[in-house]
Every structure is written in C-alpha cells, then in structure tokens.
Amino acid sequence: MNFALLLPAALAALAALILPLLIHLARRSEQRPTDFAALRWLRQKPRPRHRIRFDERLLLLLRLLLLALLALWLARPVSYGAVSHQPWIVVAPGVDPRAVPAGEGARVRWLAPGFPAIDTAPPSQLVALASLLREIDATLPAQVPLRVLVPAQLSGADGQRPVLSRALQWQVVAGTTDAAPVAAVAPPKLAIRYAAERAASLPYLRAAVSAWSPQSVSADIGVAGTAAPTDPKTQVLVWLAPGALPTAVLDWIGAGGTAVLDADAQWPQTAARAPLWRDADGAVLVEGSSYRNGRVLRFTRALAPQTMPELLEPQFPRRLRELLSAPIAAPGRAIASDYAPRTGGPSFDAPARDLKPWLALLIAALFALERWLATRPRRGVTP
C-alpha cells in the first residue's frame, strides 16, 4: 500500500507548530518566587542558568499532533493498492439467483447499473450488458478474479463481442431473458395548417397519421387554416402554404418545435440544409436543418401522387414518422456462448482511496481528548 499527497503544498501549514511552543513558553512562569525576610542577609550567589522547560508535556504534544494532522488533512492524502482481492461474481438479468454457487467467499452482484447486491430485486429495465462489462472491468483491480453468469440468450448486447483487459470466467447457466418490454412511444402531437389551394394534400397526411395509431385510438391531429393559432402542446406543425412563415410560427419553431413546410414555403434563415429522404432514383424528397432550438423540414415536391408517387406507397407513414421523431434503437440479442468477452482491451489503474474522512475522524477524537486534558479539574497551571 502506497501513500501520496494530492496537494503537498498544503504542508506549509506545518509552520503553525511553533504556536503551541510559544504559548507554553510564554505562560510557563506564572508561578513567581517570593523572597523571605530571613533570607535577605544571605550572601547572594550566582543563579544557575534556566533551562527551557515545558509544563504539561502531554498536552503540548497532543496540540502539536493536532496541528500536524490538520496540515496533512489539507494536503489531501490518498492511498494506492489498499483494495480487497476478494473475487467477484456478477449475474446477468434472467439468471435465477439460486443458480449462484454458494460458499466461495465472493461478492455476488447483479450485472446492472450500480452493481446492486444479489439479495435485492433484479433489474426491471433492459440493461446495456456490454457497457456494464466494460465498466466493471475498468473498476476492479486487475488481480480480482471475475466470474460472469449469463443466460443462454442475452439482451442488451452490442454489435460485437466485448474486449476486456482481463480473462474472466464466462459461465452460461439456465435462465430466461425476461427483459422489460420497451415502452411504445406515442406518436407526436401533430397539427396541420393549410392554404385553400393545398386542401388536396390533406387526405394523404391524414391517412399517414392515422396509420401511426391502433384502429381503436383516434389520431391526435388538428387541421385548420393558416390563420388559426398554434397549440403550445403541438410537437409537429405541418405548414402547407406558400410564401414566408408568420412571425408566430417562427417563434414557435425557435422555442423547440418541429415544422414540416410546403415545397413553395420560404425557408427561414437557418444553417445549411441536409437531405433527409431520397427516392429510389436518389432525388431528394425532404430536406431539413435546425432553426434556433427547433427543426425545419421541407418537402421538395408538392404533396400529390402526380409529383410524389411515394404518397401511395405502404412505407410512407413509417418513413414520415421516422423523420418527425428520433428512431429507437432496438435492444441487441445474442447467444451467450458466442458473446464471451475477448482479452486485449486497455487496462486502467485502480482509483486512489481518499483518506481524508478517516483522518477527519482521528482529528475529531484527538481534539476531544485535548479539550478534556485542558479543562480537567486538579491540574496545574497550564496554557
């Protein structure tokens, strides 16, 4: 175990050790000698030299030790290598805790964020298994044996086998991957504002939005003219009108909204536009860019089958929804026997252990002892 100081310049506070010495020396001569009358006529003899003498030496040493420990506490002491080499067993969700071998003297934890103890409830959410394996590999010292218990089928896997710095024991046991289902994301609250000459485009948009929801649930869509105000709860605004956008619409987009513009609508002053959707021939169908805190998308063609045949294709509702909301990454699944981590990854030094809390407890105990010695009854004259 090695000790180090993160702030060694704080040891300059050791200069304060001179203060208790000066106080004890200054207040040592409170007992003054008194001359007796019978001794006045005796011959005066040379007085011996006075030696430096400290009263209450135990109290003085205690005060010096307190100041030295305070200086050391300010220097932020840490220790390296003071870690336990007790083996670890981590259990992936889906493994029955009763399958964990007992009597091995190992720490048994869930392979979940925070690595909770095995006697707690298993994680109910899908975990990023590969990321957690890398985290525990970087956290544990290299000398700590690591054993991982996994079910035959894993969820939350990456696209490739993890590469760790250590060789661990990968054990496939009986279990099921009962990962929590991914909650379905509700379709965005959409509003359409259109000019009279764009009324022919409404049926295609209505059909696409209706396809986002089950048949028993009506689509949350508001259709009105361009003069109608925008509901603050609206997440996506489809603007089917040529010309410049009203100031109220620009402010709504800038506050974080997403607007889909007509092909003849005027772009606001935004950054460079990027193609977001192309047809089978590579021509751009939708382009977009950011606008302050929001997004702006625009069709490059009129929403009519004659100019945009994609309106009649079955995948049009899905592609439109992908444009308006961030896609959700599906959890990865893998066969556990084929997902055993490989070695050769980077290794990390064990983190230093902060000694300041323990040093603070020692300082508090010594301070209480110093106060008791300084105020106890039946003690001599002391500083």
In a domain, 69, yes or no: no
In this prediction, residue 220 has a pLDDT band, given cuts at 50, 70 and 90, of low
pLDDT of residue 124: 67
pLDDT of residue 32: 59
In a domain, 242, yes or no: yes
In a domain, 147, yes or no: yes
Containing 331, the helix (H) or strand (E) segment is none
Q: What is the pTM of this model?
A: 0.42
Task: Name residues whose C-beta falls within 8 Å of residue 289's C-beta, 6 or more positions apart in sequence.
Answer: 270, 271, 272, 273, 274, 295, 296
For residue 47, is pLDDT > 80? no
In this prediction, residue 362 has a pLDDT band, given cuts at 50, 70 and 90, of very high
- Domain limits for position 103: 88-181+333-343
Which CA distances in Å does 346 have to 88, 358, 375?
A: 20, 32, 58
Q: Is 378 exposed, middle or buried (0-12, 13-18, 19+ CB in 10 A)?
A: exposed
Together in a domain, 194 and 227: yes
317-327 per-position pLDDT tens digit: 988 988 887 54
Contact status, residue 258 vs residue 297, Cβ threshold 8 Å? yes
Q: Where a domain ends, among 295, 324, 353?
A: 324
Instruction: Label the pairing between strands 353-354 and 77-80.
Output: antiparallel
Together in a domain, 316 and 339: no
Together in a domain, 199 and 172: no
d(CA 248, CA 147): 60
Together in a domain, 310 and 194: yes
Task: Name residues whose C-beta falls within 8 Å of residue 206's C-beta, 6 or more positions apart in sequence.
Answer: 219, 221, 223
Q: Where a domain ends, among 275, 296, 324?
A: 324
Which CA distances in Å does 145 have to 97, 115, 140, 265?
A: 20, 16, 9, 64
Name beta bridge partners: 342.
163
Beta strand spans in 120-206 (E): 146-150, 153-155, 163-164, 169-172, 190-194
In a domain, 279, yes or no: yes
Together in a domain, 114 and 222: no
Together in a domain, 203 and 311: yes
Together in a domain, 218 and 173: no
Together in a domain, 280 and 311: yes
Together in a domain, 210 and 130: no
Together in a domain, 206 and 307: yes
Task: Name residues whose C-beta falls within 8 Å of residue 32's C-beta, 6 or more positions apart in sequence.
Answer: none
Q: Where a domain ends, among 296, 324, 352?
A: 324
155-207 per-position pLDDT tens digit: 777 767 888 888 888 988 876 654 444 444 567 788 999 999 999 999 999 88
98-155 per-position pLDDT tens digit: 777 766 678 888 888 888 888 888 776 677 888 888 888 888 888 888 999 888 888 7
Angle (deg, nearest 10), helices 356-375 and 57-74: 160
Look over the chain and give the mean of its residue pLDDT values, rounded to a whole number: 81
